[in-house]
Structure 1
Amino acid sequence: MSVQRILPLLLAVLFSVTSFASAQTTPDKAVSIGPRITTGNFQAVQIAIPAFELKAGASNGGLEPAFFQKVIYNDLEFFSDFKRVENQALVEQTQRHDMASNQAKDFIDYAEWQRIGAAFVLKGEYAVDASGRLQLEVRLFNLTTGERAFGFQYTPLPVSEKRMMAHQISDDIVKAVFNQPGIASTQIVFVASAANPRVKELYVMDADGDNLRQLTRDNSLAATPCWGMNGTEVYYTSYKDTNPDLWGIQIATRKTWVISRFAGLNYTADWSAANKRIALTLGKDGNSEIYTMDRNGNTATMKRLTRNACIDSSPCWNPAGTQMVFTSDRTGTPQIWAMDADGNNARKLTYGGNYNDAAVWSPKGDQIAYVGRDGQFDVHVMNVDGTNDFKLTSNQRNNEDPTYAPDSKHFVFSSNRTGSYEIFIMDDKGNNVHQLTKMNGNAQSPSWSPLFR
């Protein structure tokens, strides 16, 4: 997707779908999903997706029928409890059986699809019109109930938006089956160096690692990006004016503005959608202290939260905007602390390891992830009171910069397990790890976007 487009507006158009008259729309609760199969450490729901059919007499616009199948399969296996039916040849054979038996779009031989192990079947049709706009119709069939789970006709968009449309289909499937928001349409922002290791720019990509594009061209050092207001902005630290100042950038237009440029550090920003405020670390007082301010950097509304001679840094709000976690070495080594949003009631959460940092609150508000060093850096999760600490990574060199996906079930993080630092994702048990980037230099400090709805 071109960064010249406003992503939320694009998605607002994309979400405008027509539900076929005979179709069941997204239910208020999860539907009956039938038997699961054991795969790895969890029980998966098998789905079959035959290659989408080209509408009779229509142009394909150079788009291969298997494109949607590939993207949707990957989305569902990355970000949900679905697993593809392994024998794709049988999937296509069963689709041909349906077409030979009955030409009606809604026809499906439930018994034949169940015979190959599917619990759900997704069928789709596509065409590219004369103006280059992609038309998509999809139908999801529930083989356990013998009913169609939904049927959607999506608002046509330029064929260049084909990947975003495929991601939206994936999210609609997850919502219909599990009654949970899908995250395939979300984005990840991060910093990466290229030929010159002294230069780091902002990049953004789809949650599956595709559709990579460069956001900044400051020819300077960018650091610690976070998503801002409505997922349309990113706040980050840049040295482009020599001092490490906090900047904002609009994703659609690439317009930038200064949020905070006090002498010394202005970094590790975190946006609270609940409070419409940024928490950040400032070094203007001679040491690192935590402040909050609005997205325009209005000093009249700026508030200082910590006051001591030690280092306090890396704040992160809870979803309600009533508390935040942060890093402090006030008891010796850097550890994870929490405090109320007004700076009161500070309490220590971690005691193990000799360097704990970069804590983030889960979107559900029930867990905190952080990076701990005990020989190497690893990603940990714990309850919000510091109990039940669990290490998600181990024996894979350094693993840093975790942030939650909007579903609280996945993480994005950086790791040098393959040599240079790259961006990876994993589930909330530390399994299902996928490498997303292969940059020429180090890729670090990822931040997962909110849902764009």
Structure 2
Amino acid sequence: MFYSLQNLWIKRILEFILLGFFLAVMDAGCVEGKVYLDTITNPELAPFPIAVADFTSPQKMGGGEQEIARNINRVVVNDLVLSGFFRVIEPKDFPPQAQISRSFLDRSELEAWSGSGVDALVTGSFRVVENSLIGSFRLYDLVEKKFIKGTRYEGRVSEWRRIAHRIANEIVFQITGEKGVFDTKIAFVGNQTGNKEIYLIDFDGENLRPVTQNKSINILPRWTLDGKRLLYTSYMKRNPDLYAIDLESGKNYRISYRNGLNACPTWFRDSEGEKMILMLKRDNRSHLFLTKVGETSAIPITSGSASYASPSWSPDGRQIAFVSDQTGSPQVYVMDINGKNIRRLSYQGNYNVCPAWSPRGDWIAYCSRQGGSFKIFLTTPDGEQVRQLTQGPGNYEDPTWSPDGRYLAFSSTKEGGAAIYVMSINGTYQRRLTTFRGEATNPAWSPHLE
């Protein structure tokens, strides 16, 4: 992290503190202190001005290379804009004296940006060697006029989009101290073929592809911790069994097939290995069971005449958020991992479901029926603070967190049929991801994918 940009941002945020806004500065005593600047949750803070130059090539660019360069630029710029952190200045808006024709710049070339109001500059270079794409980016501090960070990437030409996302991730990390989520994907259920199948889509709404094509009913996708497999419930054998599919090989296998419901696994890893809590049918009710990954036995952690559903593990592995009708209508609760110390969280509305615990541990998102339609709310784990995130017509359901806890994906009918959307954790920057024919529901956000 570079000091002049830190100081500039600190000055800006301190000005906002005088007006009552929030500042979070961490690791200030380190040699390379990291400032966590969350313009997503503090939209009053002006986006960070950053210039992104056209990528160049050390060799004469052919038509194919020019197209790849334009595509990489487009994805990097789009990622930075979608993050909500940046105001991106593109080459057509560069100062006349600051035109860039190469990736490596010296101080005199950076001096041309003086007085421009731009704080950082990104340049890039790449070349194609047979079927390989070799590229790098460089990040410059335009306040102190110095080079900050450079990273080299190499992959297949077909992986240009992944390389672009990785560049954007590194830029976000250098500015905010936290990695971006541009390498992530969102799984969801779509019925565009007439059947409910599982699909994947990138964070930016591109690269849509089917995961299942079994012409059955496939619902409730969930990611494994390493992001290599998806678990989902399917009626392929006429019972709602739990399946796992390896996303690289496409191999599909059944992992839980007890009579009745097998669904909604939530994962945690500790010193004993990976554990999973899932919903299973017991005494004509749904209950929550704990199992170790790879084992067939399952230990019940709920019992009684009420139903228990939709488990979501806390990041520290000590608690579970879930839904139960033990007071009559479905409500959101939290309990310890052993099934004890049950506390009700939701009191607004008579129907509250779909809890999702933030990776940061500070919020639990859930759906609440308000005036005949569902809206998305946040509550702190102690239930002391409650915030409504979505408003307006239509239903807003199935919240799922990005791995950095900065965004939520959800399904909504606000524009007609159900589609997948993404928003910041204060409910702003809502954008639609899915546009295909048919409806899209049950989103599940992946961990970081390398």
Q: What is the TM-score normalised by the length of structure 1?
A: 0.86
The amino acid across from 2:134 in the alignment is Q
Match of 1:123 in 2: 123
Partners of 2:97 and 2:184 in 1: CA distance: 33
Distance 1:32 1:427, change over 3 A: closer
2: CA distance, partners of 1:393 / 1:58: 47
- 1:160-171 residue pairs with structure 2 within 5 A? 160-171=158-169
Name the counterpart of 1:380: 377
1:72 is the counterpart of 2:70:
no
Q: Equivalents in 2 of 1:104, 1:255: separation in Å?
A: 43
Q: Deviations over 1:316-343 (max 9, x none)?
A: 1011211100000101111000111111
Structure 2 Cα separation of the partners of residues 76 and 191 of structure 1: 27
Long gaps (5+) in structure 1? 1-26
1:424 counterpart = 2:421: yes
| 227-236 vs 111-120, which moves further | 111-120
Contact kept in structure 1, 2:54 and 2:91, CA below 8 Å: no
The residue type equivalent to 1:292 in the other structure is L
- Find 1:226's aligned residue among 222, 226, 229: 222
Q: Give the counterpart of 1:445 among 426, 442, 446.
A: 442
Deviation per CA, 1:175-220: give whole Å up to 9, x if none: 1121111111111111111131xx1111112111111111111111
Distance 2:45 2:82 in 1: 13
Q: Is the 8 A contact 2:261 2:280 kept in 1?
A: yes
| Structure 1 residue 443, shift from structure 2 partner | 0.6
Structure 2 counterpart SS, 1:283: strand
Rounded to whole Å, the distance in 2 between the matches of 1:42 and 1:159 is: 38
Does the Cα contact within 8 Å between 1:382 and 1:389 map onto a contact in 2? Answer: yes
1:195 and 2:225 aligned: no
The yes-or-no answer on 1:390 pairing with 2:393 is: no
Letter in 2 for 1:46: P
The whole-number CA distance in structure 2 between the counterparts of 1:251 and 1:104 is 36
Q: Counterpart amino acid of 2:140?
A: F
Distance 2:124 2:393 in 1: 41
Per-residue deviation, residues 289-308 of structure 1 (Å, max 9, x unmatched):
11122334x333x1101101
> Which of 252, 256, 261 is residue 260 of structure 1 equivalent to?
256
Paired amino acid for 1:393: T
Which of 206, 211, 233 is the matching residue for 2:207? Answer: 211
Q: Relative contact order (C-alpha < 8 Å, sep 6+): which is higher?
A: 1
Q: Measure the CA separation in 2 of the matches of 1:93 and 1:424.
A: 39
8 A contact 1:60–1:127 mirrored in 2: no
* Aligned 8 A contact 1:31 1:176 in 2: no
Which residue number in structure 2 is paired with residue 20 of structure 1? none
1:158 aligns with 2:156: yes
CA distance in 2, matches of 1:104, 1:83: 21
SS in 2 for 1:452: coil
Q: Is the partner of 1:299 in helix, strand or coil?
A: coil
Identity across aligned pairs (percent)? 32
How many Å separate the matches in 1 of 2:284 and 2:266? Answer: 22
Give the 3-state SS of the residue equivalent to 2:94 in structure 1. Answer: helix
What displacement does 1:42 show?
Answer: 3.2
Q: Secondary structure at the match of 2:166?
A: helix
Which deviates the most, 418-427 or 60-69? Answer: 60-69
Equivalent pairs, count: 412
**Residue 30 (structure 1) shift:** 3.0
Q: Given that residues 425 and 436 in structure 1 are in contact (C-alpha distance below 8 angstroms), is that contact kept between their aligned partners in structure 2?
A: yes
Residue 199 of structure 2 aligns to a residue whose secondary structure is: strand
Please tell me whether the aligned partners of residues 32 and 145 of structure 1 are also in contact (alpha carbons under 8 angstroms). Answer: no
- Secondary structure at the aligned position of 1:152 is classed as strand
State yes or no: 1:235 paired with 2:224: no
Q: Which of residues 266, 279, 282 in structure 1 aligns to 2:280?
A: 282
Q: 1:262 to 1:28 in 2, by over 3 A?
A: farther
> Paired residue for 2:406?
409
Cα distance in 2 for partners of 1:159, 1:308 equals: 57
